[in-house]
Amino acid sequence: MTEDDLLRQMFAAAVDAAAPRICVPAHLPGPPSGRTVVVGAGKAAAAMAAAVEAHWPANRPLSGLVITRYGHGVGPLPRIEVVEASHPVPDAAGEQAAARILQLVQGLTEDDLVLCLISGGGSALLALPAPGITLADKQAINRALLRSGAHIHDMNCVRKHLSAIKGGRLAAAAAPARVVTLVISDVPGDDPSVIASGPTVPDTTTLDDARSVLKRFGIVAPPAVQAHLLDPAAETPKPGDAAFRACETQVIASPQASLEAAAEVARAAGFLPVILGDAIEGEAAEVARVMAGIAKHCAQHAQPAPPPCVLISGGETTVTVRGQGRGGRNAEFLLGLAVALEGHPAIHAIACDTDGIDGTEDNAGALLMPDTLARALTLGLRARDRLGDNDGYGFFKTIGDLVVTGPTLTNVNDFRAILVARPG
Amino acid sequence: MTEDDLLRQMFAAAVDAAAPRICVPAHLPGPPSGRTVVVGAGKAAAAMAAAVEAHWPANRPLSGLVITRYGHGVGPLPRIEVVEASHPVPDAAGEQAAARILQLVQGLTEDDLVLCLISGGGSALLALPAPGITLADKQAINRALLRSGAHIHDMNCVRKHLSAIKGGRLAAAAAPARVVTLVISDVPGDDPSVIASGPTVPDTTTLDDARSVLKRFGIVAPPAVQAHLLDPAAETPKPGDAAFRACETQVIASPQASLEAAAEVARAAGFLPVILGDAIEGEAAEVARVMAGIAKHCAQHAQPAPPPCVLISGGETTVTVRGQGRGGRNAEFLLGLAVALEGHPAIHAIACDTDGIDGTEDNAGALLMPDTLARALTLGLRARDRLGDNDGYGFFKTIGDLVVTGPTLTNVNDFRAILVARPG
């Protein structure tokens, strides 16, 4: 097996570990004596629902509705309805479907089961404003929060208190039914109260906190929002509330679990895996320079790991676009790595989005080999120039080293692996 | 000992490992039967010469001349002359001193010893154009090379072939005397032919290579330079030449050795040291985001190392200045780290330049503690705003957490250590 094959297999293992067809069946609860209602939202929602249907006993009742992103459906399912809606900016399709989900879980008994399927993107797809508040109100607040530089925890606190379904309200609506939530996490720490703003998870933040956030960042809310945040009935369900007595949540896939799966593939092939982090952030080309420095240090000083080894990391980098080229953050990362490594003879790498789409192109990512720069030069491509034009896609497409998988229907963020071979 | 004390002690150990007063005496050759002439150049040259004088037998002849950067002298020495000159742009003071060094080593015998003391900055300080070429010619070529994006090896190839003293020529002039070169390295890989363009080290590049570099990057050289590069007499001494028969070179201090010294201090205190790299590059605040991701992964997943541990790295980051604030790359790194870590309760850090001067301020660097952000806020300082203004110095000075050592008279680049405490 070549180094490049190994890197492809590691990526495949990372995706498989988060694939609904694999991780959902392993965590399905047994059928209840009563009805089972499947609900949920996220980029993996349709694939998760399909996995439920495929493994649910044909003679036990199953129905429901899940919301996924436009283009992330899997074709009509026999028993669970799949609605597609807009992400990252919510739209009416998502709002109406969220309202129907709230209705579906009402009137259930202790003998019934609500199976809630949550994945990344669920927050936008499950956007149902609290009574008296419009989607436009919520959007205005959201935009102001994004501009303010507020922390994601502060933003979620406000969102939960303006929603009819988030912050544990879906679980409250489903009581006294048993609620089992299966989560594919794409956030650092895998906190279920953060992913999709935790529709079935108790909220530890308060109305008071939400008002403080708006005040702290100088955000003037529309009158309806101000009135809502002063109404004690708008408080979210809290830990210990009766609503959560029959609730349980399982994180069935996560960035870290996928990195671990890839690490096992490396280990089996005789390469020491080193997981540097599941939530590495930063400008893609700069992250690449740092990773290049660490990889070269492995090659030269056998630190932080002796070759043969693989440096593995996850998380989302960012690209500040300055050029006219094409490509997502993984191609940009890999092109930056190519420039920083200057054709290092022992180092290979892969960088791909686990959702199968790097940015807005048709590739998941790309591969870097020791001869990448040289092969590009023979085609008249200078890596440094292409990086200056943010043209990672064009660069790797021209030399034939894109990794193309198509949408994987799951998402545990990016996957990067840098292989340092034993000195020749 | 507190975490912050440990980090300060680690930095002190890194500096001590590269301090001429410690590393020079350990590598001094015994006095020859004849004369000893000390020459050299670099930011540590004066301190290295002082260390030689302090340990040289009083009854054995010792004389010489070394060139250091303005402000890096150590007061007049009894036996070795110290000249200060300009860095990084060469000036006439350096040129004249370099010419005198060439004269000093001529006419020696096999019984004599030339002790050559090389450290970072030596290339600019030891700038003596080959006969027929002016300093202005060399400066013009240098500027064109810097603009071209040529690799440092390509630049050094040209520089060596335009110099009267670099690329082994100093050794050739000193033959048949024994030449011992002691090097304090500030470059990745510690290649003595790279540091100060290797005045006593055989050159493997050729006149042909030098002409190719200029052609490849479309650099049109002044006529005198073109003529020089076509003159066979302008070729540099090569490996195996008789000139190097009595030459030896020792790297007596390096970034890696200093990181290892700091690692030992951490280990003795019960913290697992992890050296990530001795040549980490990148935009300081972005490097900080990556390091924050790795440190948080240690705290959460015990990877790449289980706490209590310290992530150690060296190399030079860069700062793209956009604001009006003050501060060098280490303060910027640490401020970026503060923002990225958001007051993580288990993580402390230090970042300092081993030369004792972070940029152009009076501090070596600064310290980061879990309560840094909170203490700053009570003084009205928002870390994110200060980072946007590139005001690392102002931030850490205001909260009283600068590390001030004064010039250390050595340089093995930056020192960064991020301590992850055992979970409380």
Residue B87: its pLDDT value, please? 86
Quick: pLDDT tens for B28-82: 999 999 999 999 999 999 999 999 999 999 999 999 999 999 988 888 999 999 9
Give the per-residue pLDDT at A124: 87
Q: Which residues of chain B form CATH 3.40.50.10180?
A: 19-253
- Provide DSSP, A56-94: S-TTS--EEEEEEETT---S--SSEEEEEE-SSS--HHH
Are the beta carbons of B97 and B83 closer than 8 angstroms?
yes
Q: How far apart are CA A48 and CA A39, in angstroms?
A: 10
Nearest to B56 by CA among B79, B86, B33: B79
Contact flag B304-A274 (C-beta cutoff 8 Å): yes
Residue A285: closest C-alpha in chain B = B282
Nearest alpha carbon to residue B165 among B211, B207, B223, B126: B126
pLDDT digits (tens, 9 = 90+) for A102-117: 999 999 999 999 999 9
Collect all residues of chain B within an 8 Å Cβ-Cβ radius of residue A294.
276-277, 280
Whether residues A303 and B274 touch (CB distance < 8 A) is answered with yes
What is residue B88's predicted lDDT score, i.e. its pLDDT? 81
**Strand A63-69's sheet: what is its strand order?**
A80-85, A63-69, A36-41, A113-119, A178-184, A247-253
Average pLDDT over residues B236-256: 95
Residue A416 to residue A37: CA distance in whole angstroms: 37
Residue B237, class by beta-carbon neighbours within 10 Å (0-12 exposed, 13-18 middle, 19+ buried)? buried
Q: In whole angstroms, what is the distance from residue A340 CA to residue A418 CA?
A: 13
Q: What percent of chain A has pLDDT over 70?
A: 100
Which of B218, B314, B312 minimizes the C-alpha distance to B271? Answer: B312
- Residue A148: pLDDT band (50, 70, 90) is confident
CB contact under 8 A, A293 and B301: no
pLDDT of residue A269: 98
- Written in H, E and C, the secondary structure of B258-299 is HHHHHHHHHHHCCCEEEEEECCCCCEHHHHHHHHHHHHHHHH
Pick the CATH number of A3-12+256-420 from 3.30.450.20, 3.30.930.10, 3.40.1480.10, 3.40.50.12780: 3.40.1480.10
What does the block give as tokens for B369? 């503690």
Measured between alpha carbons, how far is B42 from B82 in angstroms, rounded to an integer? 11
pLDDT at B293: 98
Q: Please determine, for residue B190, whether its predicted confidence score (pLDDT) is greater than 90.
A: no
Cβ pair B297:A289 closer than 8 A: no
Q: Identify which of A387, A406, A399 has the alpha carbon closest to the alpha carbon of residue A332.
A: A387
A287: closest chain B residue by CA: B290
| Amino acid, single-letter form, for residue B78 | P
Q: Residue B105's closest CA among B71, B150, B66?
A: B66
For residues A286-295, average pLDDT: 98
Token pair recorded at residue A420 = 């340092």
Neighbour tally for A102: CB within 10 Å: 18
Distance from CA of B353 to the nearest CA of A (A): 18
Q: Is B100 exposed, middle or buried (0-12, 13-18, 19+ CB in 10 A)?
A: middle
Q: By C-alpha distance, which of A5, A51, A61 is closest to A28?
A: A51
- Candidate from A189, A286, A304 with C-beta closest to B275: A304
CB pairs A-B closer than 8 Å: 97
Looking at residue B253, its amino acid is: A
Are A297 and B279 a contacting pair at CB < 8 A?
yes
Instruction: State how far the Cα of A185 lies from the Cα of B24, in Å rounded to an integer.
Output: 55
Chain A residues within 8 A of B289 when measuring between CB atoms: 280-282, 287
* Amino acid in position A40: G
Task: Provide the pLDDT confidence category of residue B189 given band limits of 50, 70 and 90.
Answer: confident
Q: Give the residue range(s) of CATH 3.40.1480.10 domains in chain A.
A: 3-12+256-420
Task: For an interface test with A, give the residue of B153, B260, B287, B297 to mutate (most A CBs within 10 A).
Answer: B297
Percent of chain B topping pLDDT 70? 100
A410 pLDDT more than 80: yes
- DSSP states of A205-260: --HHHHHHHHHHTT----HHHHHHTT-GGGPPP-TT-GGGTTEEEEEEE-HHHHHH
Q: What whole-number distance in Å separates Cα of residue A304 and Cα of residue B275? A: 6
pLDDT at res. B73:
84
Does B177 or A154 have the greater pLDDT score?
Answer: B177
- Burial bucket for residue B413 (CB in 10 Å: 0-12, 13-18, 19+): buried
CA separation for the pair B354, B258 (Å, rounded): 9
A339: confidence class by pLDDT, cuts 50, 70, 90: very high
Nearest to B304 among A151, A276, A291 (CB): A276
Q: Indicate whether A149 pLDDT > 80.
A: no
A190-248 tens-digit pLDDT: 889 988 889 999 999 999 999 999 998 899 999 999 999 999 999 999 999 998 999 99
Give the span between the Cα atoms of A157 and A101, in whole angstroms: 22
How close, in Å, is residue B301 to chain A by CA atoms?
Answer: 9
Q: Is the pLDDT of residue A153 over 90?
A: no
- pLDDT at position B101: 98
Mean pLDDT of chain B: 94
CB-based contacts of B155-158 (< 8 A; 24+ apart in sequence): B155/B213, B156/B193, B156/B194, B156/B197, B156/B205, B157/B205, B157/B209, B157/B210, B157/B213, B158/B210, B158/B213, B158/B214
Paired tokens of B64: 């010489």
Q: Quote the pLDDT of residue B86.
A: 92
The residue of chain B with its CA nearest to that of A288 is B282
pLDDT tens per residue, range A356-365: 999 888 999 9
Preferred mutation among B151, B264, B286 to probe A, highest tally of A CBs within 10 A: B286
Is B149's pLDDT higher than 80?
no
pLDDT attached to residue B146: 79
Cα gap A173→A176, rounded to integer Å:
9
pLDDT of residue A146: 79
pTM: 0.91
Pairing of strands B347-353, B414-420: antiparallel
| pLDDT at position A209 | 96
Q: To which H or E segment does residue A191 belong?
A: none
CATH number of A19-253: 3.40.50.10180
Q: Which two tokens stand for residue B423?
A: 């979970």
CB contact under 8 A, A282 and B281: no
d(CA B111, CA A198): 82
Higher pLDDT, B139 or A78: A78
